[in-house]
Each structure stands twice: as structure tokens, then as C-alpha cells.
Structure 1
Amino acid sequence: MSSPTPPSRRPAWAGRNYTLLTAAAVITGIGHSGAMIAAAFAVLQSGGDGTDVGLVAAARTVPLVAFLLVGGAVADRLPRHRVMVTANAATCVSQGAFAVLVLSGDPQLWQMALLSALGGTGQAFFAPAAEGMVLSSVSGEQAGRAFAFFRMGMNGSNIGGAALGGALVATVGPGWVLAIDAVAFALAGGLRAFLDVSHIPERQQGGGLLHDLRDGWREVIGRPWLWSIVGQFAVINAVIAAAEAVYGPLVARDHLGGAGPWGLALAAFGAGTVCGALLMTRWKPDRILLAGTLGVFPLALPSAALAVPLPAPALTGVMLVAGVAVEVFAVTWMMALHQEIPEDKLSRVSSYDWFGSVAMVPVATALAGPAADAFGRTAALWGCSVLVVLLTAAVLTVPDVRNLRRRPDTGSEPARAKDGPAGATEPCAAPADR
């Protein structure tokens, strides 16, 4: 008699690709969140000031925005895991060279900016390919739980990586933290090289890159729930970034007792994202985008708390609630993309989503200072909160946002293709039938 097959230690929904992707995301999250701190301190230790830190950060953001759409088209044209591995290799090289420069003791500002730009370019190609790969790695009714666990691992590693990176920068210096990040990307790239893409249909190579970009645009613009939420977060991400990156430290300095309370508040937000992901492993909302969009309203609270300003303990509580809420949106958003977007267009749609999310952030952070000078810091913070509330309320007027329901067989056909022109959606049932 044959011996019984030993039970798998993984849940049924955590397949090979999902496990590899989650492990790789945790590894890079630990390395890269610490490296972001290390890069800033590397600039400062080389004699730079706050403006120089901003220039190095902008050098990463500009190519990220510039190449995102191209990255999405490439990821839908080539095997996604190869795009991811190549992008990881580019980031490994850029971070390794950055580490060598810092450890050598004489890094130049232009060199650090150039290497940051290389890392940003790699991220532009990696992000759409990675999101498409994650969305296609799960199937069945447990897709939402899978996405929640993925994000919980990613958020947890970012929190731990930032704490570890900060400690290591203080003890061994930023150069070694950058070197650790390079090793992390090498390890993650090695894991991603073993991804199985045999279940993904071979891409049709008709048309060129511009054709693919137009095709992705039609897919976005043909779905009101998609383009309305992407537009919403283009502004919301920008004003939140301005509040947290510019106004938050100033309020902390003037009213909360300095950097310590502000750092605790940011840590509470990170802890909230982990709690939110844990919540979404249990909760399966029927109207997925309605639940997610309602979770966006609490994102107005941190700016309002800074405008008052609330005492540090109350601000920490507000940030915790906001972290939970944003993760409710993030998981339901992944569920909607997974359920509604054809597999062969996932990366292109993700690239438009990413583009909307980051394109206005540099503009908002650059204008935050002049806005505070013109209207006052308190008024600018209240303006951030009002924009979050108004835009979220406006999105709720879109019928597809209110009525899009989770299908019981969500993701059971991850490589499906829809009939009809790009962007066409299936007819919506009457509300009573949904």
C-alpha cells in the first residue's frame, strides 16, 4: 500500500508563485525601507543639506514617473518574472555601487543622484510587472485573504526594516545598510527567477509599444470605477504626502515635542496597516469598492489632527486608525483589479494606477511650503483634509463604485480574456439581483 501524502503546511490558496512572491517582497521590504533612511544620512554625512537630500530623492522619483507606463507595457509584452528579475538586478547594482561610494568615504552628490535615478528606473519596470504577477498568482474565493496576507507581510517588513535600518545606520553607518539592501535585491531576484508562468497565455505580439499603451488606456478609461479611483488617489496621495513629509515634522517641532512623537505617530500608522491587513484576512465585504472607498474617509483625520493640533497621544491614535482604514481600501482594490481586469492587461492597468498614485506627489511636496506661506500652515492642513473628503464623496457618486460586488468565484479564471473592445465591461445586474 502506498503511504499517504503528507498534508501541505501551506493553505490551499498559497501556491508556489504566491509563496515566492511574498517571501521576496518581505526580503526587499526589510532591505529597502532601511536603505531609504541610509541614503538620506549618506547625503548628510557627505556634507549635503536638506536640499541635497531632496534632490537625491527626486532623482529617484522622476524616472519612476517617466517610465512607469512604458514599464507596464513591457511587462504585458514579455514574461513578467523576467522583467522583475532584470529590474531587481538593476536595483542591486545601483544600491551596491551606492554602498561602495559611501564606504569609500568620498561620495559626490551627482553620483548619488545618478544611482538613485537608476534605482527609480528599475522600480518603474518592476512595479507593474510585480502587481500583475501577484494578481495572477491566486484564484478562488480566498483571493482577498491571500492579498491581505501579502500586504501584511509587506507592511510588516517595511516597519521592521525601517527600525532595523535606523539602528544600523546609527551603529555601523549608512554604507553597510545600502550594501544589505543590494544583497536583499539579489536574493529576491533569485526567488523571482523561479516563478512559474506556464499558466499565463503567451502574449500576442501584434502592434508596437504605443499600441500597447493605447490599449491599456482604453482598458482604464472604459471602466468608470477604475479611472475615478485612480484620479481620486492622484490627488489624495499628493496631499497626504505633503502633510506627512512637510507639515508633520514642522507641527511636531513646534507643538508636539520634536521628532520622537512624530516618529511614534508614523510607526502607529504602519502598525495600523498590519492590523488592517489582518482584519481583511477575515472580512469579505460583498460590495468590495464601496467598503474600500468608505475606508478612505479616515485618511482625512491625520491632516485635521495636525491642523488642530491634537496632543501626541491622540495623534498617534488617529494615525493608527488611518493605517487600518487605508489597508481596507488597498486589499479591496486588489480584489477589484484581480476580478475585473483581463490577465493579459494587468500590468498595463497597474502602470496607469501607479502613475496616478505618484505623479503629483513631487509637485505637492514642492508646493507645500509656498501654500503654507500664502494661506498659513493650519489652513493648508485643513485644505488637505477637505480634499480627501470631497474627492472620496465624489467617487461614491459613481454607480460602479457603489455596486461592484465580489463574485463567489473571484479569480477562478485569472487568465481570462473578455470579448468585445478593450475596456468593455460586462453588463451590471439590477441592484436587487446583485
Structure 2
Amino acid sequence: MKAPLALSPLRHASFRRLVAAHGLSRFGTELALVAVAFAVLQSSPTAGALGLVLAARTLPHVIFLIFGGVWADRLPRARIMVSSDVVCAVVQGALAAAVLTGQITLWLLMVLQAVLGSASAFFVPAATGLTPATVPDGDLQRANGLLGLVGNGAGMLGPAVSGVVVAFAGPGWSLLVDAVTFLMSACLLLGIRQSEPVPASAGGRPRGVRQDLAEGWHEVSSRNWLVAGILQSLLFQACFAAFFTLGPVVAGATLGGPAAWGALVTAFGAGSLLGSLLALRLQPARPLLTMQAALAVSVPAMAALTWTDWLPILLATTAMAGAGFAAADAFWETTLQRETPQDKLGRVAAFDRIGSSCLRPFGYLIAASVAAAAGQQHTLRGASLLLALSVPTVLIAVPQIRRLRHHAAPTTDDRTPLSPAAHSN
């Protein structure tokens, strides 16, 4: 595939705005993670305080994701994303002001991060639903690959920039930059024009949130491949928590310390970029089958930590894990968008995100507890074995995973790519 074809989604102005907004949001989010951590330690220098702040952001995000899915199917998705960005900008701007003026307290951090987590929960389902409307169906796989490439690149750049800004100017300025990136993202998204969705109704009466949720859940539960994919993703997220929890310990004991772990994390990020590039170039006829192959490539990383201390091998397997995750994510997102009716995609995306990531925070705690009881090597090998077995299990148990072929996405509206709005409002 020639490079111009791989970049064909960028021919559409609305997608260019979307991918730029996505990159800015991801960069700002990663930038803020380092800054928030140091802001917490500046006011309450304990690990427990940092845990409370992270929980205050994560729990509302998970809770409100489902409502974000409902509204993403009721209102113009670009406008929902703009509203989310504006709220996040105000929150991070207020937090930056509090840090810069020395008025920061633990409770203020928790409240502001809870609002941030809640607002960002409305952004995610709307973004998933908006992507298919900005490019033709034939460009959808490449569009998701580009989104992954830009997002992963921003994810690597953000922490590095934030570390420098925090070191030389303090966390407040890094948070202020994050607020600006949210505003820039909102301005880009304002230029995307989307037709109003059909008002939710039942029998001539407005439809309630409960009915919308039930309809969205039916879309998920009626597809065996979708349920299997969510459960498998949940397993991968929970088990890979062992890698990121125990990896630094192993690096400190046998690989030479923090520098080695930093190299492995960098390799994971570089692999993610490679996986996104592969997703740009591949157009698999059986995307879910190809996704299983990508997931299988990610499995050796954890086992390698237990049988070798030669860093080049560990760097290679860790990069493979990053590439496998990124490619699998692009294939999954594309299939989800093509196989789900567009007027229900927001809710299905919300259920997918909740189901696949809800155990990730607990995975860190579980990994540490299991390692304390069974040992680090047994924990990593056991997690690796579970993941390795999940691939053939899913392929055997769910024939749709093997057989599902690419075809045009079902839709209830015009699939013509959106055009940039003539005016912001």
C-alpha cells in the first residue's frame, strides 16, 4: 500500500480536525498525569493521597461512561465532545491557578479530578461514534490506525514534556498547558458539522434513559463476538497489570534498576506506534481473526521477564506487546463501528469501554497480592499462560470471531463524510 493511500482519511477536513483534536487531548492528558502526581505530593506527600486523587478521577469516569453513551446517541457527537473539552479546560485551569497560588488542598484536588473524570466520560463514546461519520467506510480502518498513531505518539511525548516543565517551572504551569490543549481541541471540533440525531422516542413519547440503556445492552448481548471480545479485553487489561506492577520490581532486582524499566516502557510505546502503523497498512478480510493474532503477539512479554535478564530480548518482547495491543485496538474499533447501527454506537462503545477496563485499577492490587502469596515469577507466568490460552479458547468457542468478514457498516442515516462547518456556532 502506498503512503498516500494509508493517509487517505486525511483528505477529509472533518477527520483532520478530529485527529488533531484527538492528538491534543491525548497529549494534554498525559502531560497532566505527571503534573497532578507532583501537585498531590506538593500538598500531601503520601502514596495514599495520590491513590485517593486517582480514585476520585477514575470512579466517576467509569460511572458516567454509560450516560455518556446514551447522550452520544441523542445529541450531535461533536458538540458533546466540545462541551466535555470546555469543562475539562475550566477544571484544569482552576487546578493550575490553585497550584500556582499555593491554595491547593487534597479535597480540592479530589473534587476537581472527580469533575474531570465525569466530563471526560462523555467524550469517549461520542468520539467512537463520530469517527465513522468523518470518513467513507473504505477509509475507516486507516482512520482508526491514524487515530492510534497520533494518540500513541502524543502519549509518548506528553510525559517527557511534562517532566521537563514540572522540573523547571512546577506542576501548575504543566496543568495550565493541559487546559490550553483542551480549549484548542474544542475549537477544532467546533468546525465539524453533524446533523441532529433523531430524537429518542417510544410510542410518540420521549424515551427514558433506562430504555436507552436496555436497548444498548441488547445490542451488546445479542452479539457473541462482542461479549467475547469485551471479556477477553478485560482479562488482558487485568493480567497486564501484573506486568506494569511487577515489572519495576524485577527491573530493580535483576536488570539494573529504574533505567532498565524506563527503557522497557519506552519500548512498549515505540511498539504501540509500530502497531498503529501496521493498522494503517493492513485491511484484513477477517478483522477479528487478525485481532487475535495481534493479541497473541503481546503475550510473551510477561513470560520473558521470568526466564531472561538479557535486556535486548526484553526490549523486543515488550515492543511486540505494545504493537500487538495497538493493532488489536484498531481492528476492534473498526469492527465495532462497522457492525453497530450508528444510532446505537455511543451506547455500545460505552458498554465496551466499561466492560473492558473496569478491572484495570483492581488488577494492580490483585497482582501485588498474588505475587506476595505465590511469588513474582509464578504470578507473571500464570498471567502469561491465561492470556495465551484465551486466544485459542475464544477462537474455538466463538465461531463468529473466525468467520466475521468486513462489510459495509449498518446505518440509519447518511454515511457521507461530514464537512467542516462554515461557522463555529
Q: Is the 8 A contact 2:225 2:401 kept in 1?
A: yes
How far apart, CA to CA, are the structure 2 residues paired with 1:212 and 1:145?
Answer: 31
Q: Is the 8 A contact 2:9 2:135 kept in 1?
A: no
Q: Is the 8 A contact 2:9 2:15 kept in 1?
A: no
Which sits farther off after the overlay, 385-394 or 270-279? 385-394
Map of 1:236 onto structure 2: 236
Q: TM-score, normalised by structure 1?
A: 0.88
Map of 1:124 onto structure 2: 121
Q: Is the 8 A contact 2:128 2:337 kept in 1?
A: no
How far apart, CA to CA, are the structure 2 residues paired with 1:255 and 1:107?
Answer: 40
> Residue 399 and residue 31 in structure 1: after superposition, are their counterparts in 2 closer, same or farther (change >3 A)?
same
The correspondence of residues 290-309 of structure 1 with structure 2, limited to 5 A, is 290-309=289-308
How far apart, CA to CA, are the structure 1 residues paired with 2:340 and 2:170?
Answer: 45
> Residue 203 and residue 173 in structure 1: after superposition, are their counterparts in 2 closer, same or farther (change >3 A)?
same
1:202 to 190, 195, 198: 198
Map of 1:21 onto structure 2: 18
The correspondence of residues 161-176 of structure 1 with structure 2, limited to 5 A, is 161-176=158-173
Map of 1:253 onto structure 2: 252
1:386 to partner: Cα distance: 1.6
Letter in 2 for 1:204: A
How far apart, CA to CA, are the structure 1 residues paired with 2:311 and 2:111?
Answer: 38
Please tell me the root mean square deviation across aligned C-alpha atoms, in Å: 1.9
Letter in 1 for 2:330: V
Q: Is the 8 A contact 2:74 2:197 kept in 1?
A: no
Identity, in percent, stands at 37
Letter in 2 for 1:314: I
Q: Is the 8 A contact 1:67 1:125 kept in 2?
A: yes
The correspondence of residues 10-409 of structure 1 with structure 2, limited to 5 A, is 11=8, 14-198=11-195, 201-206=197-202, 207-244=207-244, 246-397=245-396, 398-407=398-407
Task: Indicate the SS of the match to 2:281.
Answer: coil
How far apart, CA to CA, are the structure 2 residues paired with 1:280 and 1:79?
Answer: 28
Which sits farther off after the overlay, 201-210 or 121-130? 201-210
How far apart, CA to CA, are the structure 1 residues paired with 2:90 and 2:308?
Answer: 44
How far apart, CA to CA, are the structure 1 residues paired with 2:412 and 2:239?
Answer: 35
1:309 to partner: Cα distance: 4.8
Counting matched residue pairs gives: 404
Letter in 2 for 1:140: D
Q: TM-score, normalised by structure 2?
A: 0.90
How far apart, CA to CA, are the structure 1 residues paired with 2:138 and 2:353?
Answer: 26
How far apart, CA to CA, are the structure 1 residues paired with 2:41 and 2:307?
Answer: 32
Q: Is the 8 A contact 1:342 1:415 kept in 2?
A: no
1:13 to partner: Cα distance: 6.1
**1:342-393 deviation per Cα after TM superposition (whole angstroms, max 9, x unaligned):** 1001110000111012211122212222211111121111122122112222
1:396 to partner: Cα distance: 1.1
How far apart, CA to CA, are the structure 2 residues paired with 1:134 and 1:379?
Answer: 42
Q: Is the 8 A contact 1:26 1:153 kept in 2?
A: yes
Q: Is the 8 A contact 1:273 1:326 kept in 2?
A: yes
How far apart, CA to CA, are the structure 1 residues paired with 2:314 and 2:260?
Answer: 9
Map of 1:427 onto structure 2: none
Which sits farther off after the overlay, 179-188 or 26-35? 26-35
Q: Is the 8 A contact 2:339 2:410 kept in 1?
A: no
> Residue 97 and residue 201 in structure 1: after superposition, are their counterparts in 2 closer, same or farther (change >3 A)?
closer
> Residue 38 and residue 152 in structure 1: after superposition, are their counterparts in 2 closer, same or farther (change >3 A)?
same
How far apart, CA to CA, are the structure 2 residues paired with 1:254 and 1:159?
Answer: 26
Task: Indicate the SS of the match to 1:296.
Answer: helix
1:102 to partner: Cα distance: 1.5
1:107 to partner: Cα distance: 1.9
Q: Is the 8 A contact 1:143 1:411 kept in 2?
A: no
> Residue 47 and residue 320 in structure 1: after superposition, are their counterparts in 2 closer, same or farther (change >3 A)?
same
Letter in 2 for 1:293: Q
Letter in 2 for 1:283: L
Map of 1:431 onto structure 2: none
Letter in 2 for 1:221: S
> Residue 100 and residue 382 in structure 1: after superposition, are their counterparts in 2 closer, same or farther (change >3 A)?
same
1:416 to partner: Cα distance: 7.2
Larger helix fraction of residues: 2
Q: Is the 8 A contact 1:138 1:411 kept in 2?
A: no
Q: Is the 8 A contact 2:89 2:182 kept in 1?
A: yes
Which sits farther off after the overlay, 230-239 or 42-51? 42-51
**1:390-429 deviation per Cα after TM superposition (whole angstroms, max 9, x unaligned):** 222221121110011123xx35968479xxxxxxxxxxxx
Letter in 2 for 1:295: A
Give structure 1 stretches of 5+ with no counterpart.
1-9, 418-434
Q: Is the 8 A contact 1:342 1:416 kept in 2?
A: no
Letter in 2 for 1:105: G
